[in-house]
Amino acid sequence: MKTSPLRTRRSGIARSLREAVLPARLLFVAKTTLAVGLAWTIAPHMPGVTDEYPYYAPLGALVSMYPTLMGSAKTSLQTLLGLATGIGLATLVILTIGPTWWTVPLVIGVGVLLSGTGWFGAGREYVPIAALFVLVVGGQDADDYSLGYLTQMAVGVVIGLLVNVLIAPAPLTKAAEARVDAFRAQLGSHLHDIGSAVSESWPPEHQQWADDAASLADTAAELRSELAEADESRRGNPRAWGRRGDTQHIHDELATLDRVAHLIRDISDATADTIWDRPAALPLDPTLPEPLSAACHAVAEVIAQEDPSSSESHRERGEAARAIRLLLEQVDDRTFDVRSSMGPGVLTAMHLRRILILSGGEARNHDD
């Protein structure tokens, strides 16, 4: 039975709320609050005319806050570069023609054009914004406004960076590793569903496994993105010095699971084609559903094992190897009897054997 759209939306909302109150996110909220508060407290005490524009310091602090240290530094520098460029464009107009009905939109257009070059990164939007603010808000005091704007933003950025360094965020390695473990469990569950589907009365009523197959590739892509962010979170982070938070083993695990996911999707597609008689369908010999289902369930148990070197994993691989051997023997027998090797049973047997190897090596036969 398919999951209803309403239930899916509720699940998504619940997941979003849980992610919003994770400890790492709450720490980020607290640090942002602290940085903005410090910036607002310090800004009025800046020398000269800059103290007339204290409201830009909290904005600078807010802009500088990012979940990772290197991300904070990069975002901050890009923002200041974008501001300086926008202020420079506005200053050029003020020193030459002055703000008019056509110079203001022209400068904004140039700012938007420059922001699309990719030179400014996260600060690209501030190029036209800074130019507009200096020309329109600064008015007759454009020089003082430009100095106050840029200086106070810089003050906020520096405060934000200091807060991020002094209260360094934890590397995101553990979160990425947990997501990869969840993906492993998802793959095992999906293969279990396929095993259950082929042993049901045909066509089986349960088809969620077929609908979920396409999501495996999307999940793998999301995990690669999260793992890249985890790598970024370690750069320059004192809490990741040495080998603490090393992610190489997670990269290796995800690469393996990605290959397993591809094989499972292939099994799922071929099985679904046969079950629902799609154009690419190949007939499944009526003697194969039972051994095919048993092999799927056995290999699914192997996938779900977190430690391939444990005694439990060795036992599960031994059972999976026997189940695959029985499936292959049945496929060979039926190939000889019906003089045809084409069918989802052959493809599934080949893929299950490959998955078993990828999941820690094919176990030896222990049933002799």
> Mean per-residue pLDDT for 237-244?
66
pLDDT band at 368 (very low <50, low <70, confident <90, very high): very low
Tens digit of each residue's pLDDT (9 = 90 or more) over 275-318: 766 676 666 777 788 888 899 999 999 998 877 778 888 888 89
pLDDT of the residue at 241: 67
Question: Which tokens hold the place of 173?
Answer: 């390695």
Return the H-helix or E-strand segment holding 178: helix 173-198
Give CA torsion, residues 356, 359, 364, 368, to 10 deg: -50
Question: Which tokens hold the place of 286?
Answer: 């009526």
pLDDT of the residue at 39: 95
| Whether CATH 1.20.58 fits 173-235+243-358 | yes
Give CA torsion, residues 214, 215, 218, 222, to 10 deg: -160
User: Which residue stretches of 276-343 are H helix?
Assistant: 289-304, 311-338
pLDDT of the residue at 270: 82
Residue 2 has pLDDT above 50, yes or no: no
In the chain, % of residues over pLDDT 90? 35
pLDDT of the residue at 59: 93
DSSP single-letter state for residue 367: -
Length of the chain: 368
pLDDT of the residue at 309: 79
pLDDT of the residue at 233: 78
> Mean per-residue pLDDT for 120-145?
89
More confident call, 86 vs 289: 86
pLDDT of the residue at 335: 66
Nearest to 355 by CA among 288, 297, 282, 269: 297
pLDDT band at 362 (very low <50, low <70, confident <90, very high): very low
pLDDT of the residue at 159: 96
The answer to whether 302 and 270 have CB atoms below 8 angstroms apart is no
pLDDT of the residue at 210: 60
Tens digit of each residue's pLDDT (9 = 90 or more) over 174-220: 878 888 999 999 899 888 888 887 777 555 555 565 666 667 888 88
pLDDT of the residue at 157: 94
Residue 148 has pLDDT above 80, yes or no: yes
Distance CA 79, CA 61 (A): 11
- Cα 289 to Cα 49, 100, 110, 267: the distances in Å are 81, 79, 66, 13
The verdict on whether omega for the bond into residue 204 sits within 30 degrees of 0, i.e. cis, is no
Nearest to 355 by CA among 264, 266, 252: 264
pLDDT of the residue at 336: 64
Longest dimension (CA), the chain: 95
Distance CA 120, CA 106 (A): 20
Distance CA 318, CA 298 (A): 9
Tens digit of each residue's pLDDT (9 = 90 or more) over 23-67: 778 888 999 999 999 999 999 999 888 888 999 999 999 999 988
Distance CA 208, CA 227 (A): 28
- Structural domain boundaries in the chain: 5-166, 173-235+243-358
Residue 363 has pLDDT above 50, yes or no: no
Burial of 231 (0-12, 13-18, 19+ CB in 10 A): buried
pLDDT of the residue at 366: 39
Question: Which tokens hold the place of 127?
Answer: 């190029």
**The pTM is what?**
0.67
Question: Which tokens hold the place of 30?
Answer: 């607290």
